[in-house]
Structure 1
Amino acid sequence: MEQPKGFVDSAFPTHVCKLNKALYGLKQAPRAWFHRLSSFLVTYGFTCSRADTSLFVFRKDDCLMYLLVYVDDLILTGNKPIMLTNFITRLHNEFAIKDLGSLNYFLGLEVVHTDDGLFLSQCKYAHDILSRAGLLETKLVPTPLATTDTFVSTGSPFSDPTLYRSLVGALQYLTITRPDHSYAVNQASQFLHAPTDQHFQSVKRILRYVKGTMSYGLIFKRSKRTTILGYSDADWAQCIETRRSTYGYSIFLGGNLVSWSAKKQPTVSRSSCESEYRAMANTAAEIIWVTHLLRELHALPSDRPTLLCDNRSALFMTQNPVSHKRAKHIDLDYHFVWELVMSGKLYTRFVPTKLQLADIFTKSLPRSQFQHFRTLLRVGSLPFRLRGDDRIKDNSTNQAND
């Protein structure tokens, strides 16, 4: 700290104000810290990603390092252990940091390293949510929502809206590793301003589902084929009160789920084709962002991305410019899908409804179909257990031996 120019006390030029408040409490502290850290990283040779400003990439010859920043928590990985060690040493010299070793816990996410990949879960976080709601001993249900559940604004107001908002907000963060209940949480989030007793009962059902699948998470496996594959779907005019459609998508890289979403469309669609086409446009935009990120990571697949849709009319619109004359009421922003297809940057293809994985993000599904799609999303429990220092053993093998 120093006295501002023009207001320097000639009698005490080195005196400054005593800071009674921690730097963490100052509004400019996060910006100042990120500027300090990013300046050091850029000087070292890192470049800031344009797709994700919290990601820094270092490349020199055949050496690659990725550094992800969340305030003062850092994740560092690379393909050259010696370079990683040298960089960590430089970090130690520049900042007062603590090396926690191999990644196993980060912002509530639990990371388990397996022989062929990673397993991400939020078991402890889910337990904390259930404890807060007082549902640790609740009965279990097989799906987050019943097929007959509907969300409407009518009904008796819930007595504790703050509790409702707190639980739904916590469930939103839980969807980072649990995409299987994204649709249910999205429906509950639309009534945060005025929840009813029926809405709270639906939230309790979601929590009962979480209780039965607390150990579930996302499974990532190594794959030689790294094709980008996207599924897009929309449930036309699903909302009874506004007649707006709910759309969802899931994007895979090498068979691993890397991006997904379940949202209500901001405008009313006049046909199922229009709602599906708008959903494809949003999915295409996300796919383009994923390709930009992979390009900066120097890991972009050579094959062009594929977008799958179960609506033939919407699929036809992406491949035939003549049909656009019948869709002038659709905002022009959504017609960039056709341009991506024509330029060879995107390939669209039909997928049967029974194989449409994005269905799990647009509606409540029967138990068997829901569990099938959940498995295809690679959401499940850890398929092995650890016993002391022994090697990882598959549960099925252990059961067979028993």
Structure 2
Amino acid sequence: MEQPPGYIDPRFPNHVCHLKKARYGLKQAPRAWFQRFSSFLTQLGFYCSRADTSLFIFHRKSDVIYLLLYVDDIIITGNNSSLLHSFSCKLHSEFATKDLGSLSYFLGLEATSKTDGLFISQLKYARDILTRAQLLDSKPVHTPMIVSQHLSSDGSMFSDPTLYRSLVRALQYLTITRADIAHAVNSVSQFLHSPTNDHFLAVKRILCYVKGTLHFGLTFRPSATPTTLVAYSDADWAGCPDTRRSTSGYSIYLDNNLVSWSAKKQPTVSRSSCESEYRALALTAAELLWLTHLLRDLKVSLPQRPLLLCDNKSAIFLSSNLFLIRGPSMLS
């Protein structure tokens, strides 16, 4: 560090200002705030989840408190109301916080409690995207993209790349509760550097689909049966006409609740459908492993091993045969 130009002290040219309090806008402010907050929670008996560093858990006998932290937005829940009230009082005495009551709106996500569970959507956020694109009064369509369409980099350049990037990035955040548009958004996200008119038409189709499905979201229902994890994996072999790379996709269910999904282009070219499906299986298995660690931190037991389903027999045989994966030279 050095003194800024025009404000150099001639008596102490090598001195710099000593920061006594972290403030917004400084690079070290998030780290200092997280350290301060996590230290306070640790003193109260919380511990940080190894699967998600923003999740803090308090567990004492049968009492459990979960705290989720995003910068200075906090969600707290637990199974003991008196213990939650006591912790809230300690939190208010230590930090200048405000209790907003039951969860209803958090980072653009709207949570609604229903008789059969919790419904999470992004209705207001989706309307804001349509307003920005001037498509709030557009005619809805039934699908987010044409099934047989494969976008490529060929075509005339779109006149407003900034608008294209803004809409696509907004749609990326919308996929938090909209798994039905994940693959379509992944397709248009691959051309942020040089969008064409065809790419913008694909974005408009996604927005028109969102217009007709504004009230879509996720419903999480409690289950009386033992908790099970079931994952579905698939791949689109050589689906990209430019790079010939495949797209991996998966969806993971906790009982009947959809908890994780993804549509992502593979980093390398697969020479066969078996190879592309196997790469998708590996990606899904990694996500399943992370979810099992997260559930373990949440004190949720899995009576059975997670089930991973795939529709490619060659990939299933390859994943279950260690000799084919490792080769004879790697077996002792």
Return the offset for 1:320. Answer: 2.2
Report the secondary structure of 1:113's partner residue.
strand
Query: Separation in 2 of the partners of 1:32 and 1:68?
Result: 18
CA contact (8 A) 2:245 2:270 kept: yes
Q: Which runs of 5+ in 1 are unaligned?
A: 1-15, 333-402
Residue matched to 1:53? 53
Shift of 1:23: 1.8
Correspondence 1:257-276 to 2 at 5 A: 257-276=258-277
Per-residue deviation, residues 126-175 of structure 1 (Å, max 9, x unmatched) = 00000000001111100000123221101111110000000000000000
CA distance in 1, matches of 2:257, 2:87: 30
Give the conservation status (yes or no) of the 8 Å contact 2:64–2:78: yes
Which amino acid counterpart does residue 142 of structure 2 have in structure 1?
P
- Structure 2 Cα separation of the partners of residues 320 and 51 of structure 1: 29
Do the aligned partners of residues 62 and 244 (structure 1) sit closer, same or farther apart at CA in structure 2, a change above 3 Å counting? same
Residue matched to 1:192: 192
Paired position in structure 2 for 1:112: 112
The equivalent residue for 2:283 is 282
Quote the Cα distance in structure 2 between the aligned partners of 1:228 and 1:286.
Answer: 11
Gap change, CA 1:284 and 1:317, over 3 Å in 2: same
Matched-pair contact (CA < 8 Å) for 2:150–2:239: no
Task: Indicate the residue corresponding to 1:201 in structure 2.
Answer: 201
Q: 3-state SS of the aligned residue for 1:57? A: strand
Separation in structure 2 between the aligned mates of residue 290 and residue 278 of structure 1, nearest angstrom? 19
Q: Aligned partners of 2:321 and 2:18: how far apart in 1? A: 69
> Superposition pairs for residues 87-106 of structure 1, below 5 Å?
87-106=87-106
Q: Report the number of matched residues.
A: 313
Q: What are the equivalent positions in structure 2 for 1:365-380 lying under 5 Å apart?
A: none
Matches within 5 A, 1:192-231: 192-225=192-225, 226-231=227-232
In the superposition, relative to structure 1, how do residues 22 and 287 fare at CA in structure 2: closer, same or farther (>3 Å)? closer
Instruction: Supply the distance in 2 between the matched residues of 1:230 and 1:197 (Cα, whole angstroms).
Output: 36
1:314 aligned residue = 315
Residues 158-196 of structure 1, C-alpha deviation per residue, up to 9 Å, x if partnerless? 110000000000000000000100000000000000000
CA shift for structure 1 position 325: 6.6
* Alignment correspondent of 1:71: 71
SS at match of 1:36: helix
Q: Name the amino acid aligned to 1:303.
A: Q
Q: 1:91 corresponds to which letter in structure 2?
A: L
**Partner letter of residue 293 of structure 1?**
L
Q: Which residue matches 1:297? A: 298
- Contact residue 273 and residue 313 of structure 1 kept, 8 A: yes
Cα separation, partners in 2 of 1:84 and 1:286, compared to 1, 3 Å = same
**Is the Cα contact below 8 Å between 1:245 and 1:264 reproduced in 2?**
yes
Instruction: Check 1:240–1:228 CA distance in 2 against 1; reply closer, same or farther (3 A cut).
Output: same
Distance 2:317 2:176 in 1: 33
Q: Distance in 2 between matches of 1:327 and 1:134?
A: 61
8 Å contact kept, 2:22–2:28: no
Q: 1:33: which partner in 2?
A: 33
Aligned to 1:84: 84
Quote the offset at 1:322 in angstroms: 3.6
Q: Which amino acid aligns with 1:234?
A: A
Aligned-pair CA distance for 1:299: 0.4
Q: Distance in 2 between matches of 1:106 and 1:87?
A: 21
Within 5 Å, give how 1:83-162 maps onto structure 2. Answer: 83-162=83-162
Q: Return the offset for 1:230.
A: 0.5
Q: Aligned partner of 1:308: which letter?
A: L
Query: What is the alpha-carbon distance in structure 2 between the residues aligned to residue 209 and residue 37 of structure 1?
Result: 42
> Contact 1:135–1:207 at 8 Å: present in 2 too?
yes
Matches within 5 A, 1:289-368: 289-324=290-325
Contact 1:224 1:254 in 2 (8 A): no
The question of whether the paired residues in 1 share the 8 Å contact of 2:22 and 2:29 is answered with: no
Partners of 1:326 and 1:90 in 2: how far apart? 58
The one-letter code sitting in structure 2 at the alignment partner of 1:294 is L
Alignment gaps of 5+ in structure 2: 1-15
Contact map agreement 2:121 2:217 (CA 8 A) in 1: yes
Q: TM-score, normalised by structure 2?
A: 0.91
Length-normalised TM-score, structure 1: 0.75
Percent of pairs with identical residues = 64
Residues in 2 aligned to 1:327 and 1:157: alpha-carbon distance in whole angstroms: 52
C-alpha contact (below 8 Å) 1:109/1:120 kept by paired residues: yes
Distance 1:92 1:267, change over 3 A: same
CA–CA distance in structure 1, aligned partners of residues 271 and 327 of structure 2: 12
Deviations 1:25-58 (A, max 9, x none): 2221111111110000001000001100000000
Distance 1:218 1:317, change over 3 A: same
1:178–1:216: 8 Å Cα contact kept in structure 2? yes
Cα distance in 2 for residues equivalent to 1:94 and 1:177: 34
Q: Secondary structure at the match of 1:24?
A: coil
> Counterpart in 2 of 1:164?
164
Q: How far apart in 1 are the matches of 2:328 and 2:106?
A: 46
